[in-house]
Amino acid sequence: MTDPEGRRRRSGGPARPERRTAPTIAAFHMPEIDMAASPSPRWQVERIVHFGPQDFVVDGLAHFGFHVRDGGYYPIDHPRHVLGCLDRHGRLAWTAAAAPVVEGVPNLPVELDFPMFVDLLPGGSLVVSNFGNARLVRIDPGRGTADVLVDGRALGMADMGNCVVDASGSIWVNEVTGCRIWRFDEAGQVLQTLGDGTPGFAHGRTGFERVRFNWIYDIRRGPDDRLYVLDSRNFAVRVVDPADSTVTTIAGTGEPGYGGDGGPATMATFGSDPTARFDGPISLALDEAGNAYVGDRQNHVVRTIEASSGTIYTIAGRPDTADERPNDAQEPDPAALNLPQISSLDYAAGRLFVPTDLGDVRGDLVLLRRH
């Protein structure tokens, strides 16, 4: 996830979208990549793109956006409450917002409130989670319709983080500050709730009936159809297994720090800034092999948890960072990257998309490729 309060402050409040002129967006083609897992992960910087305060899409890329299972690529602009869709040439095909956003680009009218994540429902519609009003919104671009699928506030939810759809069509949602995980069916009915809203932590394996979390910033579906959860104020990554109703810690000790690289992820520590409202690791992504990637925001690095061995490594960034210094667009070394405020992670086609904020209104998108 990103830092909602921080981005609201930087944007001067949750303004509605401004109408813009359609940008000229060059196509961005991704060559095929060998996805075989490596015991010694090596990554290279493929591209760095700078984003200004009004940039939604630059050169066919989003600063904050997500790929879904059918290959669709959806940029999100939180403070302007906009979802977009890029076509296969990297052009903005449509937007979804309260009012038209880009001149000449079709807009599907819908009230979003700090949208956080998007996923694909079995019937081809999209589901969008909104942090601001704790609602799941269903969007059918083909029919040009949108409706509220879940009103989280009516269920007592404090907020809403991400929304991921499993193989059965169930929708899993992390309630960030409410410390709960919710499972809904395709019609928006509650099927299950994990956690009772009280912060807590247990290392190892815990049953659904006893599990507790502490500010959950991210949730992603793995290739094994288990749910990977970033239990951020517990400085841990945990796995929800619906098959046996257990939650298992796969990374983190429950304590902050920066250690453990090259060893078992269960003994590793993640960064902390006690002055930050959203303390702890900020974002999570999974690849086809089940390797997990963590945006260790307070350590200013990206780390990977290797699925085959359970080993953790740092693959990009460095702890000494400069808040407002953009990265050199030609920088080839992942270890030299300046990642002061990692705001999300996205994985697609052998690439890891790493957005970082730079000061008040700017940001970089770093595209990493395994080699």
Phi and psi, residue 258, nearest 5°: -145, 90
DSSP characters over 44-60 = EEEEEEEE-TT-SEETT
For 52-73, write each residue's pLDDT tens digit: 988 999 999 999 999 999 999 9
For 287-333, write each residue's pLDDT tens digit: 999 999 999 999 999 999 999 999 999 999 999 987 788 999 999 99
Sorted by sequence, the CB contacts under 8 Å of residue 298 that are 6+ apart come out as 256, 270, 271, 272, 273, 276, 279, 280, 281
For 38-56, write each residue's pLDDT tens digit: 344 589 999 999 999 889 9
**Pair of tokens at residue 42:** 């090596």
DSSP characters over 249-284 = EEE--SSB-SB-TTSBGGG-BB---TTSSS-S--EE
Rounded to whole angstroms, how far apart are CA atoms 308 and 311?
Answer: 8
Classify 312 as helix, strand or coil.
strand
Tell me the domain boundaries of the chain: 4-370
For 82-141, write each residue's pLDDT tens digit: 999 999 999 999 999 999 999 999 999 999 999 999 999 999 999 999 999 999 999 999
Helix (H) or strand (E) holding 10: helix 4-11
Query: Is CATH 2.120.10.30 what the domain over 4-370 is classified as, yes or no?
Result: yes
Sorted by sequence, the CB contacts under 8 Å of residue 87 that are 6+ apart come out as 93
Helix (H) or strand (E) holding 317: strand 312-317
Write down the pLDDT at residue 41.
54
